[in-house]
A and B are shown apart, each in its own frame.
Chain A
Amino acid sequence: MRLTIPEEEIMQPGHLACQGCGATLAIRFVLKALGRKTVMSIPACCCTVIDGPFPYSAYGVPIWHTAFETAASAAAGIKAGLEMLGDRETTVLAWAGDGGTFDIGIQALSGAAERGDDILYVCYDNEAYMNTGIQRSSATPRGAWTTTTPVRHPKDRPKKDIIAIMAAHRIPYAATASVGYPEDLIKKVKKAKASKGTKFLHIIAPCPTGWRSRPDDTIKLARLVVETNVFPLYEVENGEVWQMTKKSKGTPVTEYLKLQGRFKHLKEEDVNEIQNKVDREYEKLLKKCSIDSKQ
């Protein structure tokens, strides 16, 4: 059998992630795809801690820890510095969570994307501030419980459409990916690496701690989130060409929601409403991809 996932493990054992952590899988796969000529800029997030405390480091590539809102700007500086010193090959990888991307870091990210800084920005999205103890972010989905959206008042606003925001910057490459589909993820990382300019990957990374799910359901959830069209897999080139990379199975959202404690307060009508919204969003996405759902 031909392996499509590079065998070499760049990330080392000994990291500090929770059991079933999707973010850790994301790092492992992304580094496999990028190889050792990589430098990471990591702002405050779970992955700051997962790498290990001083003097340990598990990721296997040089890490630049930086302030919460600066994943993109620090990466831009690192890239400029490397280029001035004659290194044009090293991939500079900005690696931030959803809080550091959708919220506090969006200004620096937008700046880098507009300038076209030659960096790969990956947002691993566990849909809340998990490192600080499950507080809502602008990536938290509608209806979800978090410690700042208690069940009496769950989040009532939709998740930001970060890919649309990034595509609007006309960057060469923006894509979604899931740790449940590593071949697709790795293909996208390689595609991103091959193009020049700001590239953006949005990876859904289930978080058993924050999602109140079983650690051994992580892969199942990472697949269901795609199969239910809650988090479709697609890519956008130059902000213009939208393309689906995984066919829809159209699995009912309830299959995905019911495995997570953060949604257990939802009533049948809430689930139906979520289903309607997911369907509508998916229709809109198909139109962007010029695919007729009735085909």
Chain B
Amino acid sequence: MKKVLMGNHALSYGAKLSRVQVIAAYPITPQTQVVELLSEMCADGELDAQFVKVESEHSALAASIGASAVGARTFTATSAQGLALMHEMIHWAVGARTPVVLGNINRAMAPPWSIWTDQNDSLSERDTGIMQVYCESNQEVQDTVIQAYKVAEKVLLPCMVVLDAFYLSHTYEPVDIPEQKLVDKYLPPFNPPYKLDPKDVHAFGGLTDAKWYYELRYKIESAMNRAREEWKKADDEFGKIFGRRYGLVEDYRCKDADIILITSGTITGTARITVDILRDKGKKVGVLKIRVFRPFPTDKVREMLGGAKKVACIDRNISFGQSGIFFEEIKSALYNSSHRPPIWGYIAGLGGRDVTPETIKEIVKRTEESDRPEDLIWIGLKK
């Protein structure tokens, strides 16, 4: 069934189709419609779940983790300041190996107050061990939630499904909502190997000294590593049942491209259109969208970028004192690779500033004309 949905509602539908059992969430612009629709679904009995209407995002994730620990499938959603407040519990979800799925609407961090998109909120959680997937369409948002449970419950790590504020969260697009029985076939009920159970007494997360902590961290990294393969498998199986595949990365006209643009989120669509325009003018340009950011698709990135003459990375985020974060990641993925194209790092669209085809043309032009790569170029900066 096709419905015209806003991005936020695509998250809600993804959760509903995944038959989540416990939802714990707190409202924050621009996430509110996610939880509003889920509240209605729970109230109407359309979704058999308990919605714990917590008093903060910190409690939202603490409650989600608790519910996941006993073996319930759990969902939460937030944005920006809310995600920052959850930070401690994101570490907790990872260490406790609870596969909570968290929808995050990318919103710029305050101050000054901003409700518009950029990625510094989610990317600040880069090193926690939560998986991160960046979406560019509402269809992808809904489908990614379902895939996220598939992978998260396999490797026992939480997963963040990320979408841009307003450009996606509040934009209406047609979304194919699959039949429940097909989703059930794809996603069996959550049945974790270890759970908090009064019939089986264990302590979870107690004081662990240096004799074991190190190995437990290794296990998290092993799970992340396995997750790369699991994302591929989950995506393939999803494709077979639903006819849609997204990949860990998605390339557009990269094969013979001299310049490859690196994008994530909604900038990708704009970049594709710009590539078509530039291709018509004879410029060999392509786009590589990074969809799965954690685990980072290092091999895929090496494979896709190995043949490019130049790479231009567009970051809607900034690691102050360094560069764009995707840029850093791409660069570090390529460093130990035999083919290392020069790479230019562009900052664009912070705080929801529009990234238009003109912005992208400027990025391509600047990359074309430059013969020395630069780490940090602010595009469209007011002087």
On A, residues with C-beta under 8 Å from B are 36-39, 41, 48-49, 51-54, 57, 59-67, 69-70, 72-78, 80-85, 87, 90, 107-108, 110-111, 114-115, 117
Contacts and interface: CB of A to CB of B under 8 A. Distances in A.
B198 interface: yes
Contact of B205 (A38, A65, A111, A115): A65
A119 B112 CA distance: 40
Q: Which residue, of B59, B71, B200, B209, has the highest number of chain A Cβ atoms within 10 A?
A: B59
A82 B21 CA distance: 10
B218 interface: no
Most chain B CB atoms below 10 A, which of A48, A66, A75: A66
Contacts of B66: 41, 64, 66, 73-78, 80-81
Contact of B52 (A36, A41, A117): A117
A81 B206 contact: no
Nearest to B201: A62
Contacts of B381: none
> Which applies to chain A's interface (DSSP): helix, strand, loop or mixed?
mixed
Nearest to B21: A84
B69 to A, nearest CB: 6
A232 to B, nearest CB: 30
A87 B55 CA distance: 25
Interface string B194-209: 0011101111111111
Contacts of A80: 22, 24, 50, 52, 63, 66-67, 72
19 contacts: A39-B198, A57-B201, A57-B206, A63-B202, A63-B206, A65-B203, A72-B59, A73-B59, A73-B66, A74-B65, A76-B63, A77-B22, A80-B24, A81-B69, A85-B21, A107-B56, A111-B56, A115-B53, A117-B52
Given A61-B201, A66-B62, A108-B55, A54 B70 contact: no
A73 B205 contact: no
A114 B59 CA distance: 14
B206 A65 contact: yes
Contacts of B209: 53-54
A54 B208 contact: yes
B203 A67 contact: no
B207 A115 contact: no
Interface residues of B, number: 43
A84 B22 contact: yes
B31 interface: no
A64 B198 contact: no
Given A57-B201, A70-B89, A111 B55 contact: yes
Contacts of B65: 66, 74, 77
Interface string B72-87: 1010000000000000
Given A54-B207, A54-B208, A115-B53, 13 more contacts: A39-B198, A51-B203, A51-B206, A53-B206, A64-B66, A64-B69, A66-B92, A67-B89, A70-B59, A72-B59, A76-B66, A80-B63, A84-B49
B13 to A, nearest CB: 20
B84 to A, nearest CB: 15
**A-B pairs with lowest CB-CB distance, top 5:** A77-B66, A77-B63, A111-B55, A81-B67, A73-B59
Interface string B36-66: 0000000000001110111110111011111
Contacts of B59: 70, 72-73, 76, 107-108, 111
A69 B56 CA distance: 11
B94 to A, nearest CB: 13
Contacts of A36: 198
B62 A108 contact: yes
B68 interface: yes
B113 interface: no
A30 to B, nearest CB: 15
Given A54-B206, A76-B54, A76-B66, A62 B197 contact: yes
Interface in B255-291: none
